[in-house]
Amino acid sequence: MRPLLVAAFAVLLVGGAQGAGSAASSRIAFGLERDDLSSIYTARPDGRGLRRLTVPPTRQQLGGDSGPVWSPNGRRIVFERNLTYWGADRYRLAAVPAAGGLARQLTKGPYDAMPTLSPNGRRIAFVRLTGATLSLYTIDRQGRHAARLLSDGLDISPAWSPDGKTIAFSRLADPSLPIEEATLYLADADGSQLRALGPEPVRGVSPAWSPDGRRIAFVSFADHNGPACPVDGCPPSGEIYVVGADGTGLTRLTTSEADDEHPTWSPNGSRIAFASGFLLAGQGHPPWLMTIPSTGGSETRIGRFSGVLDPAWSPAGIR
C-alpha cells in the first residue's frame, strides 16, 4: 500500500511460521509483485498452499492487483486493480472468488482504492480521488449506489470496526504536509460523529481493528528508523504500532530498519501479519510476509515470498 499512499498525496501536491493460532483454518491474502506487476495470492499462515487468484489484464506489465480484503464469510475478496495506461494509474475496485476465478469490476474509477468491507458484507467503504480531494465513499456489494461518506479532508485507508458501527481512517490536514503528519480519526458508519482517535493525536495510516474491537494496529512513521537514503525524497520507513480503540495504551511492536506496512490481525487476535521490506535493492530485501505477536515479541517470516503487498488475514474456517 505504501506506493499508493505516497502516490495519492503526490497527485494532490501536483494537482515457516509458528504460533499463528489459526494456521489450520485461515489464509492470508496479499498482492505479490513480480516484474512490476502484482496479482492477488493467498497462502496458509504457515506459508504453504500458495494460490494465485487474479491475472491482471494489462499489456504494459505495470500496476496490477493489490489491497485485498475478505468478505465476512470468506467466499470472495475485494481488491484494487490498477490498469496503468501509458504511465497513468487507473485504480478501480474489483472482486474475485476466494478460490480463484473470474474477477468482476465493481467501480469505474479512475481512482478508487483501499477497500474495506462492513461486517455484514453489504457495504464497501473505499477512497475516491475526485479533482484535488481524497474522500471516503461507500458502495453496496455489487458496486452500486455510490455515496460520499466524508468529504471535508484528505482521507485514506478506511477500516470498518468488527461491530459495524465505526470506521477508522487516516486524514492529512493539508496536502503540503508529509505523510508522517497523517492522523487517525474515527467516524460513525454513516459518516457522522467525526472525532480524533483519543485525547492526543495518533499519527499514522492503515488502521486495522482487532477482532474484539478493543485495539487498533496501524503504521507510524514517527520513528524515522529507516536505512540511509542514497537519493533525495525517500519515503520514511513505517513501524507497526497498536493502540486502544480509545486512543490510549500506545505500543510499538516493530523496530527494524525495514519498511513495515499494512498490519492485519489473525482471527483469534494473537498475531499480526504485515509486509516488511526495503524500497531499494541496495538497502535490503524486498517486502516479505511477516507476523508478530500482537502483544509484541519476535517477528517470524511466513513462506519465502518476496514482493508482498497489503496482507489481509481471512476469517476463521477458511482453507
pLDDT tens column, 40-66: 999 999 999 999 999 998 777 788 999
SS3 at position 8: helix
pLDDT reported for residue 281:
78
Could you tell me which of 318, 297, 284, 273 has the C-alpha nearest to residue 76? 318
pLDDT band at 15 (very low <50, low <70, confident <90, very high): very low
pLDDT band at 10 (very low <50, low <70, confident <90, very high): very low
Please list, in sequence order, all residues whose beta carbon lies within 8 angstroms of the beta carbon of residue 235, skipping any fewer than 6 positions away: 2, 6, 179, 259, 279
pLDDT band at 35 (very low <50, low <70, confident <90, very high): confident
Does residue 280 surpass a pLDDT of 90?
no
Mean pLDDT, residues 68-82 taken together: 97
Does residue 13 surpass a pLDDT of 70?
no
Distance CA 64, CA 120 (A): 28
Model confidence over 139-176: pLDDT tens digits?
A: 999 999 999 998 777 999 999 999 999 999 999 988 88
Asked whether the beta carbons of 171 and 185 are under 8 A apart, the reply is: yes
SS3 at position 3: helix
pLDDT band at 126 (very low <50, low <70, confident <90, very high): very high
Q: What is the mean pLDDT of the chain?
A: 90
- Cis-peptide, bond into residue 110, ω within 30° of zero: yes
pLDDT reported for residue 230:
63
Domains of the chain (ranges; CATH) run 2-313 (2.120.10.30)
What does each C-alpha distance from 206 to 50, 134, 211, 261 come to in angstroms? 25, 15, 16, 8
What does each C-alpha distance from 248 to 40, 198, 242 come to in angstroms? 35, 7, 10
Could you tell me which of 72, 126, 79 has the C-alpha nearest to residue 100? 79
pTM above 0.75, yes or no: yes
Please list, in sequence order, all residues whose beta carbon lies within 8 angstroms of the beta carbon of residue 38, skipping any fewer than 6 positions away: 31, 32, 56, 63, 64, 65, 66, 307, 309
Mean pLDDT, residues 65-83 taken together: 97
Could you tell me which of 231, 229, 209 has the C-alpha nearest to residue 218? 209
Could you tell me which of 193, 80, 63, 85 has the C-alpha nearest to residue 128? 80
